[in-house]
Amino acid sequence: MQFEFMDRHAALAMTGKKDGQKCSATLQPMNDLAGKHIVLGLTGGIACYKAAELCRALVKEGATVQVVMTEAAQQFITLVTMQALSNRPVYSSQWDAREPNNMAHINLSREADAILIAPASADFMAKLLHGRADDLLSLLCLARPPQTVPLLLAPAMNREMWAHPATQRNVDQLRADGATVLDVGSGEQACGETGDGRMLEAKELLDDLIAFFQPKPLFGQHVLVTAGPTYEAIDPVRGITNLSSGKMGFAIARAAREAGAQVTLVAGPVHLPTPRGVSRVDVTSARDMLEATLTRVPAASVFIATAAVADWRPANAAGQKIKKDGSGAAPMLSFVENPDILATLAQSPRARAGDLFCVGFAAESHDLLRHAQAKRARKGVPLLVGNIGPATFGQDDNALLLIDAAGSKELALESKLALARKLMAEVAMRISAKDKA
């Protein structure tokens, strides 16, 4: 079925905005935890101060948060603080008279979509391991229905406590029992020592919780993503590049990790934080990107070429800055074509054998459908994703056109992360269909 692809300019016209205004302001903000009810448990540790920021972040992301604190946690942060941040009364006693049936441990656990203990002290994890339940928080963890109420633990302790064999045995057994034990951070600790054992930062824990709730259709896959522009030097201070911000590629890397994949991200020169759980390799030029990609693709099962790679580079980059000579004449530059990373990978033996699923991107300025169809055929990729480059570079939203052998499909204007998640679902569906064929 043929249709006109709605680019950003058409979307702006529909919303009454002028070009240059952020169209994303008209989109509904993403609340990834909307409708989720989280029991946030705090145990004793200086990392309780991070739990306050985490609680605020969970609420801003759309979750309702019920805070439960141990007696030890109250030595580090007050119930009043957590009540103000969660907008709900805080529970701390198994004998809380507010529950008509006097069974707070049952009621609170049954209402939750997940229980997140942050910070989880070494003592509390040992208590969980042995099924001890001598306070409200340990009671509700033991009383939770594990099939419907997952338990996530964010450890926080001194580096020696974290490295102790007893703690590591406890972590292994808790995971074997079905709990999700999150990573620890590394750095300076409140005791003055430096090492592993810090609780993750609130933003990291929020990202991990959001990822936990996402479906995992790419579990077992290794996704290799290229993102951002490349930079081709003319001389030591000048070069050829483009306006790609890398945001779409970084969103894809995050979405692939959320979908359960192991993810490697080869990034051109951009200023973006690495998505949680993603392995990142920084490169500059197209040839750098090709080398980094070829080195890592043998381990990959999916390759997504999101990067806006420069088509040409100067044949000979000057060793020193090219100076004006006063004549008004511009320097003469000759160019050579850069390697085609996508075509190289799509035509490799592994891709031809069906062991590497390749996805290409086409950033066009006009006639998107026609140009994208031609590019898919020319590159030989099973799936080509098109967008209007000038309308999306640097923006937080996008609109995509998916093109395969069966035709085309539009993904309407949304945040880049929302589109990336939909794209991962499309990739997973095609891989599953290929495996069943």
Task: Please report where in the chains the tokens 């880049």 appear, as a residue.
Answer: 416
pTM: 0.88
Q: Are strands 262-267 and 279-282 parallel, antiparallel or unpaired?
A: parallel
Residues that are catalytic:
191
Residue 63 has phi, psi (to 5 degrees) of -80, 155
Residue 393 has what pLDDT?
A: 80
In this prediction, residue 6 carries a pLDDT of 45
Residue 287: partners with Cβ closer than 8 Å, 6 or more residues away: 313, 338, 339
Q: 358 by DSSP, 3-state: which?
A: strand
Q: For residues 29-53, b (16+ Cβ closer than 10 Å) or e, as one string?
A: eeebbeebebbbbbbbbbbbbbbbe
Residues 213-251 as b/e (b if ≥16 CB within 10 A, e otherwise) read: ebeebbeebbbbbbbbbbbbbbeeeebbbbebbbbbbbb
Give me the pLDDT at residue 11, please.
43
How many Cβ atoms are within 10 Å of 166's Cβ, its own excluded?
Answer: 11
CA gap 268, 306 in Å, rounded: 11
The per-residue pLDDT for 57 is 97
Instruction: Compute CA distances 246 → 230, 243, 265, 366, 416, whole Å.
Output: 10, 9, 11, 21, 11
Q: Which pLDDT score, from 0 to 100, does residue 29 have?
A: 66
pLDDT at 372: 87
Q: Which domains does the chain have, with CATH numbers?
A: 37-213 (3.40.50.1950), 216-310+337-436 (3.40.50.10300)
- Please provide the size of the chain in residues: 437
Predicted pLDDT of residue 28: 60
Using an 8 Å Cβ cutoff, are 32 and 21 in contact? Answer: no
CA–CA dist 8, 6 (Å, integer): 7
> Mean pLDDT in each 10-residue stretch from start to end of the chain (437 residues)?
41 39 52 96 96 97 97 97 97 88 87 97 96 94 95 97 97 97 94 94 97 97 97 93 93 98 97 96 97 97 96 91 85 91 95 94 84 89 87 85 91 94 96 80
Distance CA 416, CA 371 (A): 22
What's the pLDDT at 27? 56
